Amino acid sequence: MTLTGKVAFVTGASGGIGGECARILSEHGARVAIGFKEDKDGAVAVSEDCHGSKPIRIDVADPVAVNEAFDEAEEEIGPVTILVNVAGVTRDKPILKMTDDEWQQVIDINLSGAFFCMRRALKAMVRTGWGRIVNIGSVAGHTGNAGQANYSAAKSGIVGLTKSAAIEMGRAGVTVNLVSPGLVDTALTQPLGDKARQAILDRTLLRRTGTTREVAEAVLFCIEASYMTGQTIRLDGGMS
**Could you give the number of structural domains in the chain?**
1
Q: Which of 19, 151, 157, 179 is catalytic?
A: 151
E-strand spans in 79-236? 82-85, 131-136, 174-181, 232-235
The pTM assigned to this predicted structure is 0.96
E-strand spans in 98-189? 131-136, 174-181
Q: Which domain holds residue 64?
A: 7-234
CA distance 23 to 31: 10
Q: Is 2 within the bounds of a domain?
A: no
CA distance 111 to 225: 24
The mean predicted confidence, pLDDT, of the chain is 96
Q: How crowded is the C-beta side of 147, counted as CA atoms within 13 Å?
A: 7
**151 is annotated as an active-site residue:** yes
Cβ distance 110 to 151 under 8 Å?
yes
What are the residue ranges in the chain where pLDDT is below 70?
none
Q: Is 239 within the bounds of a domain?
A: no
CATH number of the domain encompassing residue 145: 3.40.50.720
